[in-house]
């Protein structure tokens, strides 16, 4: 039996416009496009399992981004600082 997310997504007109803009941009990093598509599908009432299947990702990932958007809105979709040492190449200056 599919799980139902407790994080129901309803978008304002501004949020919907921004997410639609991100979802179709070819110049944005792929992860930003996918996150926008996840939230747009959630707002249409799709479950995490169906969204994950359509975007070829795991349900846990969809659940994570749905929850972050629910709590922090668009700011929740941004990258957060990670603890520890920076990834290879991030600390170098050219």
| Residue-wise pLDDT tens digits, 38-65 | 999 999 999 999 999 999 999 999 999 8
Alpha-carbon distance 40 to 69, whole Å? 11
Q: Which two tokens stand for residue 31?
A: 């992860």
Alpha-carbon distance 77 to 32, whole Å? 8
pTM of full prediction above 0.85: no
Alpha-carbon distance 33 to 26, whole Å? 8
Alpha-carbon distance 50 to 83, whole Å? 32
pLDDT above 70: residue 31: yes
pLDDT above 80: residue 78: no
């Amino acid at each position: 039996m599919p799980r139902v997310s407790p994080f129901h997504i309803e978008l304002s007109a501004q949020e919907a416009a921004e997410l639609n803009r991100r979802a179709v941009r070819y110049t944005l990093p792929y992860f930003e496009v996918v996150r926008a598509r996840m939230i747009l599908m959630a707002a249409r009432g799709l479950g995490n399992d169906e969204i994950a299947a359509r975007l070829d990702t795991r349900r846990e990932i969809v659940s994570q981004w749905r929850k972050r958007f629910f709590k922090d809105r668009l700011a929740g979709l941004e990258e957060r600082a990670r603890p520890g040492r920076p990834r290879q190449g991030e600390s170098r200056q050219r």
